[in-house]
Structure 1
């Protein structure tokens, strides 16, 4: 796993552990360390799985996406109203010319 993934998992474990300690101290008056460690490990595992899912999806999209260059970008760019596109205008002109005849 990369450094960022380790940092995310470690940060999630640290934050959840501190929150569990605070919640247990305020609610019960003592700290159950087994519960705190279990919650921290669960948060770390969930954060690591989330990181792997996000980076794996990004890699998949990167490999499957077509390469858009300066020569073919128009093929992958949808024409929106007001973009100055002329798609469909020729057919409309021909239809209106036929109707006016």
Structure 2
């Protein structure tokens, strides 16, 4: 995993551990360190999985997307009726008439 993913997972684990320590101290008056460490570990695992899912999805989209250049950008730009085009309007009229 890259540095950003490690930082996200570590930061989430640290924040959850600090919140758990504060909540336990205020609510119960003592700190159960096994609970705090377990909670921090679970949050770190979840944050790492979330980071991997987000970056994996972004990589998959980047490889599947067509390369848009200055020569072919009009092929990939949707034309709407407000832009002077009529794309999709004929299909809507056909749906309403049936």
- Bin of the TM-score, shorter chain as denominator length: 0.7 to 0.9
- For 1:79-90, what aligned pairs fall within 5 Å after superposition? 79-85=79-85
Residues 1:87 and 1:35: Cα distance change in structure 2 (over 3 Å):
closer
TM-score norm. by structure 2 comes to 0.85
State the secondary structure of the residue aligned to 2:81: coil
Which TM-score applies when normalising by structure 1? 0.82
How far apart are the structure 1 equivalents of 2:52 and 2:87?
42
Structure 2 contact 24–32 (Cα < 8 Å) conserved: yes
**Structure 1 ranges of 4+ moved more than 2 A:** 84-88
Q: RMSD of aligned C-alpha atoms?
A: 1.7
State the alpha-carbon separation in 2 of the partners of residues 86 and 22 from structure 1: 60
| 2:9 alignment counterpart | 9
1:86 CA drift (Å): 6.3
How many equivalent residue pairs?
89
Question: Which structure has the larger Rg?
Answer: 1
